Amino acid sequence: MPSSASHDASHLIHNLPGKRAKEDNMKRDYDVVVIGSGAAGLAAAVTAADSGASVIVLEADDKVGGSSRLSGGHFYAAGTSIQREAGILDDTPDDMFSYYMTLNQWNVEPAVARTYCDSAAPTFEWLRSLGVVYKPERVYISGIDTVPRGHPPEGEGLAVVRVLDSERIKRGVDLALMTRADRLIEEDGEIVGVAAGDQEVGCGAVVIASGGFGHNKEFIEKYWPDAHEQGEGVWAISGPKAMGDGITLGEQVGATLGGYNRGLLLLTPGFTKDLEVAVPPWVILVSREGRRFASEMAPYTVMAGLFKRNGGLAYAIFDEAARQDADAMPIGPSWTTEALLERADSGEVLRADTLEELAELCKINAAPLAGTVQKYNEDCATGVDTAYFKPTGLRAITEPPFYAVEVRPAVIAWTGCGLRVDSETQVIANNELPIDNLFAAGEAMGTLHGDRYIGGGGSYGPAVTFGRIAGRNAATAAAKGAGLME
């Protein structure tokens, strides 16, 4: 294979004036082609190379990293060395699996979830061995369980990408930037290559790690109707090339999909494109019926589901005293003292002298809103939220004017629908059998996530974990195809 890997290797792919004739045999240029250079793709490429394969990574963007470079890079795992250093000595993959499955009422693929729970800690240790820095004092409870399993890296997701990309270069893995794969090449029912426009590269196996579809409105409507229902205010924090290419590629060769109508939506007032995960604790959230339906400090992992059961939107209600004190309780740029005043003056935030008038502006029933606020104010006086047990942030709503901010779960953190895979990351065809030589990892695979997100690190961790599994298995498949293994 070509030895230079520190630069864009797009020129190493065959430039063809037209489509290859069906009767032509595809020449193998690489053992493994990895589509996508996020955490999953880079982990796959490095692992495939460690398994003896020649590898090229195709990346649609002009830089490596995809959505992974933009994320926090947290890793969700049980039984890690960092946990032990932090004094957490008895957490196990069994405990993690029990939490994972119970949280999602077993409405996920058990074998795939089990593989992640068993493989997460070894993958985490692999990242540490490569130089990704984690500190025991930063491990935290990232889900709704009681065990700290969230592992944030120093330097966030970009630092992980840089380490993995450095390892890619060390191993001589080629990279073709601005090369968007648009077709898988088959011969006699086997995947033998990848096409990117008029360019083709032959290979023994393919790993699809092209990310999700957060920037594809058509796919959002088709595969994630809950997100589509939030309207034009929906936006994604993912990389700009998250267009669902994996779905397109897989369906061309008869792949099935999993994870329909799943993903993670975060709350937003929709004022800016800033990532704001939560609402301030000093508001109350009321439905279109004017009633509270959750603790305002409920985990972000479950908020979208709570909103769905209560009409898809809510109003954050607070008073003038809370607005004036907002800067003392910072939560995000949309919720500062000055920002709220400016948006109230512009009409983006609703403002009224009485709760009855505010209810009219919100087009909700005045009586339930008044009763809800009265009961909440009584709880504030005693310091105990008797309805939803909000632990902090209790603040009476008494001083006019009163405010209402419409809030929706409309920020796409990640998309859940993708290619169905088995526990070895092999893509499943519509005949329920695996497709030879085709693997998927990261957001491109749609088998792992359930209706409830397990917690921070529950997408980045699986991306690296299943990327490694896919890379190893792709290298094995390529070696078998080349007659190098029995």
Nearest to 319 by CA among 361, 284, 289, 347: 284
pLDDT of residue 272: 81
Cα–Cα nearest to 35, from 240, 177, 214: 177
pLDDT of residue 330: 83
Rounded Cα distance, 372 and 188, in Å:
66
Residue 270: predicted pLDDT:
85
Could you give the percent of the chain with pLDDT greater than 70?
A: 94
Q: How high is the pLDDT of residue 23? A: 38
d(CA 38, CA 168): 12
- The string of pLDDT tens digits covering residues 197-226 is 999 999 999 999 999 999 999 999 999 999
Residue 363 has pLDDT above 90, yes or no: yes
Q: Is the pLDDT of residue 476 over 50?
A: yes
The one-letter amino acid at 286? V
Residue 145 has a pLDDT of 86
**Weakest mean pLDDT among 63-77, 327-341, 388-402:** 327-341
Q: Which domains does the chain have, with CATH numbers?
A: 1-262+416-486 (3.50.50.60), 266-411 (3.90.700.10)
Instruction: Using a pLDDT cut of 90, give the percent of the chain over it.
Output: 87
* Cα gap 190→204, rounded to integer Å: 9
How far apart are the C-alpha atoms of 475 and 48, rounded to whole Å?
Answer: 5
**209-241 b/e with 16+ CB inside 10 Å = b?**
bbbbbbbbeebbeebbebbbbbeeebebbbbeb
User: Residue 119 belongs to what H/E stretch?
Assistant: helix 110-130
Whether the ω angle into residue 391 lies within 30 degrees of 0, i.e. cis, is no
User: Mean pLDDT for the chain?
Assistant: 93
Q: Can you tell me the mean pLDDT for 301-307?
A: 92
Q: How many CA atoms lie within 13 A of 485 on its CB side?
A: 12
pLDDT tens-digit readout, 157-171: 999 999 999 999 999
Say if CB 438 and CB 205 are below 8 A apart.
yes
CA distance 110 to 238: 27
Please enumerate in sequence order all residues whose Cβ is within 8 A of that of 194, keeping only pairs 6 or more positions apart, or say none.
33, 35, 58, 181, 183, 184, 185, 200, 201, 203, 206
Q: Place 26 in a pLDDT band, splitting at 50, 70 and 90.
A: confident
pTM of the model: 0.92
Q: How far is it, in rounded angstroms, from Cα 399 to Cα 406? A: 20
At a CB cut-off of 8 Å and minimum separation 6, what does 438 contact?
A: 184, 191, 205, 206, 208, 250, 253, 255, 426, 427
Backbone dihedral angles phi then psi of residue 315, each to the nearest 5 degrees: -115, 130
Give the pLDDT confidence of 47-73 residue by residue, as tens digits: 999 999 999 999 999 999 999 999 999
